[in-house]
Chains A and B, each alone.
Chain A
Amino acid sequence: GESVGLHLPTLSVQEGDNSIINCAYSNSASDYFIWYKQESGKGPQFIIDIRSNMDKRQGQRVTVLLNKTVKHLSLQIAATQPGDSAVYFCAENRGGTYKYIFGTGTRLKVLA
């Protein structure tokens, strides 16, 4: 994929620090959420998902938090590494369909 926009919000983080990327979703009926990572010249890559009956899910170095009350999703990356530099998207899915609505993305820059 290419750069998705000149005006993407950017998060700059020191290598080794934790990163938190936020996403506000649009539909209270959405019941499944995915975080994707997109590196330059590549397609979005699945990182972690969460269903609406959970409020937290952990993977390797990543944690997703879901707050349905305020329709907010966050991705936490522990001990951020240079290889984590990419654009991160959240995607929401409404039950009963296979249509995903993607957020606009956040660019993560890891500073050495």
Chain B
Amino acid sequence: DAGVIQSPRHEVTEMGQEVTLRCKPISGHDYLFWYRQTMMRGLELLIYFNNNVPIDDSGMPEDRFSAKMPNASFSTLKIQPSEPRDSAVYFCASSLTGPGPQHFGDGTRLSIL
């Protein structure tokens, strides 16, 4: 079975530009999570969805960040406008109903110049 698929794997862009990160969760998983990983702060939860509905976005750092899940097989995380401090690795993860292991994608390494 295919795991969680993220794209792009790497993104380099100039500050002020809009950045869109994409995620395809594992089929049948009801929960989708977006995380950010940095050297300073480790792995932080940004937002999670249940059945395509955002449940908790308290980890989203600013209004510049937004996330959507238009259907069960696709989610986006958008940063507009981007800033250098947004540089990090962004992970998407999904899980079945109920607390349990989350399955992570291989991340998008984002560099804002």
Which chain A residue has the least Cβ–Cβ distance from B6? A43
- A1 and B91 form a contact (CB under 8 A): yes
User: Residue A89 contacts which of B33, B43, B55, B89 (CB distance < 8 angstroms)?
Assistant: B43
- The segment from B14-22, B73-81, B96-104 that touches chain A is B96-104
Number of A-B residue pairs, CB cutoff 8 Å, is 64
Given contacts A4-B37, A32-B99, A98-B99, contact A43 B42 (CB under 8 A): no
Judge if B39 is at the interface, Cβ distance under 8 Å. Answer: yes
What is the CA–CA distance of A97 and B89 in the complex, to the nearest angstrom?
24
Judge if B107 is at the interface, Cβ distance under 8 Å. Answer: yes
- Residues of chain B within 8 A of A98, CB atoms compared: 31, 33, 48, 50, 55-56, 95, 99
- Residues of chain B within 8 A of A93, CB atoms compared: 99
- B37 and A2 form a contact (CB under 8 A): yes
- Residues of chain A within 8 A of B25, CB atoms compared: none
- Residues of chain A within 8 A of B45, CB atoms compared: 99-100
What is the CA–CA distance of A104 and B56 in the complex, to the nearest angstrom?
22
- Residues of chain A within 8 A of B56, CB atoms compared: 97-99
Judge if A70 is at the interface, Cβ distance under 8 Å. Answer: no
- B100 and A49 form a contact (CB under 8 A): yes
- Residues of chain B within 8 A of A41, CB atoms compared: 106
- Residues of chain A within 8 A of B100, CB atoms compared: 49
- A46 and B43 form a contact (CB under 8 A): no
- Residues of chain A within 8 A of B31, CB atoms compared: 98
Identify which of A5, A100, A104 gathers the most chain B CB atoms within 10 Å of its CB: A100
Which chain A residue has the least Cβ–Cβ distance from B104? A43
- B42 and A105 form a contact (CB under 8 A): yes
What is the CA–CA distance of A24 and B7 in the complex, to the nearest angstrom?
34
A-B contact pairs, 22 of them (CB 8 A): A1-B37, A1-B89, A1-B91, A1-B107, A2-B37, A5-B40, A34-B102, A42-B107, A43-B91, A43-B93, A43-B107, A44-B104, A46-B101, A46-B103, A93-B99, A98-B31, A98-B56, A98-B95, A98-B99, A99-B48, A102-B42, A103-B42
A105 to chain B, nearest CB (A): 7
